[in-house]
A and B are shown apart, each in its own frame.
Chain A
């Protein structure tokens, strides 16, 4: 399982892309998707919602469980991935690509986000 170098990671297993025009993309990691099993339902934050770093902003349901979705940063949601709402299995098949969850205009980013290498060590410990 390899975690893309250009992303940063939270200990709740979300990833965050570098901001483009102040907007970052958020998803869950392959490690998290694999631990969840087949995702069957995604409740994502809505456009315009304010999300707060470390707080829940949605939920992902798999066959066996429901898990809260945490935002790795604070800011305002600019887009939710409708493709994932329509086909939640994208979270399993392409967690770092087509399975992204939402975009956020970042107002504040926590200082303790992990690099790819740090996250790989964290998630394999």
Chain B
């Protein structure tokens, strides 16, 4: 692994905006520009603009592309319609999660797999290795795209002012090629905030002019640039898992409560089928720890790795925690023993550096937007 930090095409722009930068999976990324709480609330009530160019794009093309992805991933990629997208995962033969992914079907025989920055090489290597015998080409397109996301209730109106693309016809989890502010882009209606929003895949050389045009278009609506800090609290409130926290190689999709992404009914064998079949049965008969939401009764903030306790015993572990700007209270996602996982379970707390703070067990998500 190289020690040199990678910079996105928007690096100089972020610094000129006064961003606090952070290392994320080897990339220099904006953590926040001003107050992360204000950025969070802007996305919930107006709109926010994100640089997500660290995400890893892998293109799979050829007559056997769908068959390869059906073999390599746990989802039913063959059933994804042209211009649609699917949330899915890639697992090891033992069922452990290598990454969670979004797959876009860009053409009859062309797919784009978007992996987390920290796993992009692993996913690329795994799909390439699994491509043997398939009539398909796997291409590393990580450097071919910058990714700019506009998220929030005003995002559709803002984007409409700089594109002629049919946004009203673009459904959630769909993507279409178009032109935004004079720049060719793949416009996808996806996101990681719990709000309506769009992700724009463009050539890196066009990233800066697109960012500037969107900034100008969004200004009257109160759109602000947003860093990864608020992206994390937004996805946490929306109950969305983050790889390395809720998802790891030690867990199967069933352990993470996301067994629905595994499509046993699809044609052909896929990597992990046998182990995942067993994991599905285990989840039915003897559920291991379950993923739940926790809301603080006090004000101290739970962090990843803190023990969840009940009656003096450890019954789970926090995987993500933060102060929730929307709820005004600290919240956490945690794996807890099934006996304590029901919403409303009494007597559950989090061990915050030696003190057991009371928490309420709730079903995820913490926040759901009104449609």
**Interface residues, chain A, CB within 8 Å of chain B?**
34-35, 37-38, 40-41, 43, 61, 63-64, 66, 89, 92
Shortest C-beta distance, B300 to chain A (Å), equals: 6
Output the nearest chain A residue to B228 by Cβ-Cβ distance: A64
B208 located at the interface, meaning its Cβ lies under 8 Å from any Cβ of chain A in the complex:
no
Question: B interface, by DSSP: helix, strand, loop or mixed?
Answer: mixed
Output the nearest chain B residue to A65 by Cβ-Cβ distance: B303
Output the nearest chain A residue to B329 by Cβ-Cβ distance: A40
- Choose one: B299, B300, B323, B353; the contact of A63 (CB below 8 Å): B323
Output the nearest chain B residue to A59 by Cβ-Cβ distance: B353
Shortest C-beta distance, B228 to chain A (Å), equals: 10
B240 located at the interface, meaning its Cβ lies under 8 Å from any Cβ of chain A in the complex:
no
Give the chain B neighbours of A89 by CB distance below 8 A.
Answer: 37
How many angstroms from the CA of A41 to the CA of B303 in the assembled complex?
Answer: 14
A61 near B300: Cβ-Cβ < 8 Å: yes
B36 near A63: Cβ-Cβ < 8 Å: yes
- Choose one: B20, B31, B323; the contact of A61 (CB below 8 Å): B323
* Interface residues in B, total, Cβ within 8 A: 16
Give the chain B neighbours of A41 by CB distance below 8 A.
Answer: 299-301, 323, 330
Known: A63-B37, A64-B36, A66-B353. 4 other contacts (CB 8 A): A40-B330, A41-B299, A61-B323, A63-B322
Shortest C-beta distance, B320 to chain A (Å), equals: 12
How many angstroms from the CA of A34 to the CA of B18 in the assembled complex?
Answer: 12
Give the chain B neighbours of A34 by CB distance below 8 A.
Answer: 20
Q: A63-B36, A66-B301, A66-B303 are in contact. Are A40 and B229 (CB under 8 A)?
A: no
Give the chain A neighbours of B37 by CB distance below 8 A.
Answer: 38, 63, 89
Give the chain B neighbours of A63 by CB distance below 8 A.
Answer: 36-37, 229, 233, 322-323
Interface residues of B in 30-47 (CB under 8 A from A): 31-32, 35-37
How many angstroms from the CA of A40 to the CA of B327 in the assembled complex?
Answer: 13
How many angstroms from the CA of A34 to the CA of B20 in the assembled complex?
Answer: 9
A37 near B36: Cβ-Cβ < 8 Å: yes
Shortest C-beta distance, A36 to chain B (Å), equals: 10
- Choose one: B229, B299, B330; the contact of A64 (CB below 8 Å): B229
Output the nearest chain A residue to B40 by Cβ-Cβ distance: A63
How many angstroms from the CA of A37 to the CA of B322 in the assembled complex?
Answer: 13
Supply 30 A–B pairs (Cβ within 8 Å), ascending by A: A34-B20, A35-B20, A37-B20, A37-B31, A37-B35, A37-B229, A38-B35, A38-B36, A38-B37, A38-B323, A40-B299, A40-B323, A40-B330, A41-B299, A41-B300, A41-B301, A41-B323, A61-B323, A63-B36, A63-B37, A63-B322, A64-B31, A64-B36, A64-B229, A64-B322, A66-B301, A66-B303, A66-B353, A89-B37, A92-B35
Interface residues of B in 313-371 (CB under 8 A from A): 322-323, 330, 353
Shortest C-beta distance, B44 to chain A (Å), equals: 15
